[in-house]
Amino acid sequence: MRLHDKVALVIGAGSGIGRAIAVRFAREGARVVAADLVPAAGTRTAQLAREAGGECVFQPVDVTRRDQLRELLQGTEAQFGRLDVLVNSAGREGGAGRGFRIEELPEDLWDEVVAVYLSGVYWACKYAVPVFLHQGGGVILNLGSVAGLRPLANSIIYSTVKGGVVMLSRSLAAAYARENIRVWAICPTAVDTPVLERLFAQSEDPAAARREYEANEAMGRAITTDEVASLAVYLASDERFAYAPEPFVV
């Protein structure tokens, strides 16, 4: 129960990393708001969290709409009286153009990916910080990627937006450390999510594509969503560690 009675808002909780974090947070005692664009997916996450013995409600949100993000943050604070943890884990159903050279990418993909993966994170942080300042602190966990720390070939848009998330997190951490607001960018390598499955499914032999992909990973496999969720629990908890205004990298 390391998050006992904390209020956590997980944006992008409908699947993958966001779902794993929402369920683990609820199991650790947090009161969780699972926000997602897809009602069926977000409702399922809330159900799984409750089945795990936690407290979780679903709220719909489109992260490309700053008015909806503002209402979500304000509504969460109004409903629970506070907000302790914000998790930004929203993704895009069509992915972020990984595996393609820049000349192969549709022109409108840039705007769509930036709106979800970077602008959505920025606006959620913007509306969360005043809440944290008012109550004396809080935690922001932004889902970055190793692609935001070093370039990945043929993942130009994805690397660019994730690099933006990393720098946004670093900037916020440096700006608000003295106000007891901790900001982290969790930057995992390949995570075994539905997005990764869809990537493999595009090849003629998905199983062989997975083996080839995972052979290049440090552990010889993709990491699990539960492993990312374990880190998120630690960073969101009150367990103390030496603070530095840098993102935490997995």
Residue 114 tokens, joined: 């930036």
Grouping H, G, I as helix, E, B as strand and the rest as coil, residue 86 is: strand
What pTM does this model have? 0.90
Catalytic residues: 158
Overall average pLDDT of the 132-149 stretch: 94
Overall average pLDDT of the 218-222 stretch: 78
Banded pLDDT at 233 (limits 50, 70, 90): very high
Structural contact between residues 13 and 91, judged by C-beta atoms closer than 8 angstroms: no
Q: Is the pLDDT of residue 65 over 60?
A: yes
Q: How far apart are CA 99 and CA 105, in angstroms?
A: 10
Residue 199, CA distances (Å) to 72, 248, 250 in order: 31, 26, 22
Right CATH for 7-188+224-236 from 1.10.260.40, 3.40.50.720, 1.10.3720.10, 3.50.50.60: 3.40.50.720
What average pLDDT does the structure give for the chain?
Answer: 90
Banded pLDDT at 199 (limits 50, 70, 90): confident
Per-residue pLDDT tens over the stretch 236-247: 999 865 454 454
Domain ranges for the chain, please list them.
7-188+224-236, 192-222
Q: Residue 155 pairs with which residues in a beta bridge?
A: 100
Per-residue pLDDT tens over the stretch 36-47: 999 999 999 999
Q: How far apart are CA 36 and CA 69, in angstroms?
A: 11
Q: Is the pLDDT of residue 191 over 90?
A: no
Structural contact between residues 41 and 50, judged by C-beta atoms closer than 8 angstroms: no
Overall average pLDDT of the 195-224 stretch: 78
Structural contact between residues 200 and 210, judged by C-beta atoms closer than 8 angstroms: yes
